[in-house]
Structure 1
Amino acid sequence: MTNQETTGAAVNRLRDRAGLSLRALAAKAGYAAASSIQRYADPAFDSPLGVEVATRFADAMQGLGDPPIMRGEVLALTGLVTDSNAVTFRMEGASADRMQRDLPIYGTALGADEIVDGEAIEQTTLNRGEVIEYKRRPPILDGRADVYGLYVQGSSMHPRFRDGDTVFVESRRRPAVGDDAVIYLRTPDEVEGERTSSVLIKTIVRKTASYVELEQFNPPQTFRITMDRVDRMDRVLTLEDLIG
């Protein structure tokens, strides 16, 4: 960037030119709230934008303002594009224009460990009422209202899933032995009587009428959960599912 302009200052300059508040930019870019992108608009922020963030901002601001903002102006903030007239290369048949940003990503957090046979098993709290953001939907998932995403919390499934990875999940197809799955647990609640906000993200080893046997990788451990504790099991989509 020229004249020692920081990345954050450049984001604000383009945002002002587009006539968007930080909140409006966040909404148009598919984020849940202004706080999700606030750090990128901090004048002290001077790291390159990630490609995904820059692409979202370009989608939101392209064509706005006077003169109209060009896509390359925003993508230049990644440090990978220097020509303001540049356009990103897109493979035929894989245009992002075909991918609607409507796939919900739900809020997650590390919860208290589930104790199974005296061993602590890492589990996640999941809030299906809180959509953190929306991601682009691969064309193969068009019309699939049963598909959602969530962030992996913790390291129990490393190296298959790292802390912070996004996994996409379907509820229409039941997971089979060998599949990774999101296991919804029935949890006693003094107010509601019973709730299902706690989940395990594990690999299914065995299923019977009375229990499901699950595996995690870090530390390596296989354990059983009785079926009376299981509310439902949703299947984690594989790369093959997503690309056909």
Structure 2
Amino acid sequence: MRHDDVWRAIDAIAAENGLSPSGLARRAGLDPTAFNPSKRVGPDGRARWPSTESVSKVLAATGTAVENFASLVSGQGPQAGRSRGSVARRIPLIGLAQAGGDGFFDDGGFPVGGSWDEISIPDIADPNAYALEISGDSMEPVFRDGDIVIVSPQAPVRRGDRVVVRTRLGEVMAKQLVRQSAKRIELQSLNPAHPNYNFELSEVAWMHRIVWASQ
């Protein structure tokens, strides 16, 4: 375990909850500057670690399980839908940028065609589940370039879920669903350096929920 891995996990928890590191510290009842970059290195230049008390307060304030925090520290990424003893199966895989091309999805957003690679994953109930390789940094620090996410067309989508959206113009993006009304959806890039998006529902071909992630 490295110093940078622990801080990356804390940054990921902040992003998952729509917070800056300072906002996360406030929610946890800590000094707002507790997680600032300047506090991660001591005056002598040596790396500083967050205290176990600080980590405990963060997990309690955000409802994050210790196991999920450990997964983030180890680089396995946020996970959902994984069960102990689950049986691996193979599902189709393509790159997120490639997914915008023709011939990879049918009109319902299900994977089709013979140009997909395949990977083995723990069993996912949805027979139409597929995998995308993340490209770019718009979802950092939760998803990073090269991470694999598993997407389920059948899973219900709710506010706050991380989703893959394809527009009718063929653009495919991984974002977080902020709000959905009868006419519009609002999507957030977890990396504040990237823009958020608003679409009329008529502009959206489909929206599927990310149910599992691995690196």
Q: What TM-score do you get using the length of structure 1 for normalisation?
A: 0.44
Q: Highest Rg: 1 or 2?
A: 1
Q: Which has the higher strand share?
A: 1
